[in-house]
Amino acid sequence: MKKLIYCLSMLVTVAGFSANAQDDKSIMGAGATFPNPLYSKMFSEYNKKTSVKVNYQSIGSGGGIQQLTAKTVDFGASDAVLNGKQDSALSAPVVHIPITAGAVVIVYNLPEVKEAIKLTPDVLADIFLGKITKWNDSRIMAINKGLKLPGTSIMISHRSDGSGTTNIFSTYLSKVSAEWNSKVGKGSSINWPVGLGGKGNEGVAGTVKQTPGAIGYVELAYAKQNNMAFATLQNKSGKFIVPSVESTSASAKIDIPEDGKVSLTNTDAKDGYPIAGFTWILVYKEQNYGGRSAGKAKEMMKLIEWMVHDGQQYCEPLTYSPLPKAAVKVAEKIIKSVTYGGKSALK
């Protein structure tokens, strides 16, 4: 039944895209749930300013990449860069344009614990490996001296869909735990050792909220919007860092490569939060395909240009980190490199 529903939704998407293919003021996108609250705000404000309507489907990074590959949307959105298999499935080169940085936080449901729980990288990895199964485990207690923790069983909640949030989290665990790296590894979709899957940041947050003793990972904005408790994590420098806009921004103050593809996890920054990452808009570098008009390509690139400049004002109020100056410069160059018929799509 789930497959039937998904197929029907894809047919609706394809039909909708075809109908609007030449409507320059209607743009379709799909992908990451991670930045969805921010994108909803950005697209609403941009519509007020320009009358351009953006229909964004928050279906997960994997779904967005699939729809971009199938050319049923104008842009995809992902919290992970394309891997080799995804790249090879594309009919033409795709560029990655960074839009914002966000934190993946460890949320939990222990209503009787009033202070934020501290976790170290090794303990966090062993919880998600299923090796630590009780909240009053001696290793958790040793990090949280003076904090009374219950003997409640730990229930893992993780993503069931292809997810950039999962990619950020699993990339981090692969960096800090040799056992995780060898047994599970990293990626947008992985074989979880234990736990219950949920669709989207919303699904994981919902499961954790409804299950005493549950632990999961979601974007910081989702945790704050749902008034969820989240852990303070020890970073590479040994400091326990509270996830915030400021500590996420600190993690992003690194050298940004010209293609915009970079991981922020386990940052070297002394005050940086360790599970953070950019989220990207993905578009075909050459926009003259599938009967698209030059006007449509221009409207989409004007939208993305606005997102990395004026649209950044909406990041911090929604608990996302604005792009650092170095990332903005990289994004500008990538935007200008997008073409229609070999010429800049913006002109």
- The ranges assigned to domains in the chain are 2-102+277-344, 103-253+263-275
Q: Which of 114, 144, 112, 116 is nearest to 231 (CA)?
A: 116
Give residue 22's pLDDT band: very low, low, confident or very high (50, 70, 90): low
Q: Which fold has domain 2-102+277-344?
A: D-Maltodextrin-Binding Protein; domain 2 (3.40.190)
- Return the biggest CA–CA distance within the chain: 65
The answer for residues whose C-beta is within 8 angstroms of residue 18's C-beta and 6 or more apart is none
21 pLDDT above the threshold of 60: no
What average pLDDT does range 97-102 have in this prediction? 95
Q: For 198-228, how does the pLDDT look when each residue is reduced to its tens digit (9 = 90+)?
A: 998 889 999 999 999 999 999 898 898 889 9
- Least confident segment among 39-48, 171-180, 263-272: 263-272
Q: What is the mean pLDDT of the chain?
A: 92
Q: For 114-134, how does the pLDDT look when each residue is reduced to its tens digit (9 = 90+)?
A: 999 999 999 999 999 999 999
- Least confident segment among 1-5, 148-152, 276-280, 312-316: 1-5
Pairwise CA distance, residues 169 & 187, whole Å: 9
Q: Where are the alpha helices (DSSP H) in the chain?
A: 2-19, 36-50, 61-69, 84-89, 121-128, 138-143, 164-176, 178-183, 200-210, 220-225, 245-251, 294-308, 325-337
Tell me if 2-102+277-344 shares its fold with 103-253+263-275. yes
User: CA-CA distances (angstroms) from residue 205 to 35, 106, 251?
Assistant: 15, 10, 24
Q: Which residues partner with 31 through β-bridges? A: 58, 77
Domain 103-253+263-275 -> CATH class: alpha beta
Give residue 16's pLDDT band: very low, low, confident or very high (50, 70, 90): very low
Q: What is the pLDDT at residue 157?
A: 98
Sign of CA dihedral 10, 16, 22, 24: negative
Q: What is the pLDDT at residue 26?
A: 96
Local structure of residue 187 (DSSP, 8 states): S
Q: Which of 87, 19, 110 is nearest to 261 (CA)?
A: 87
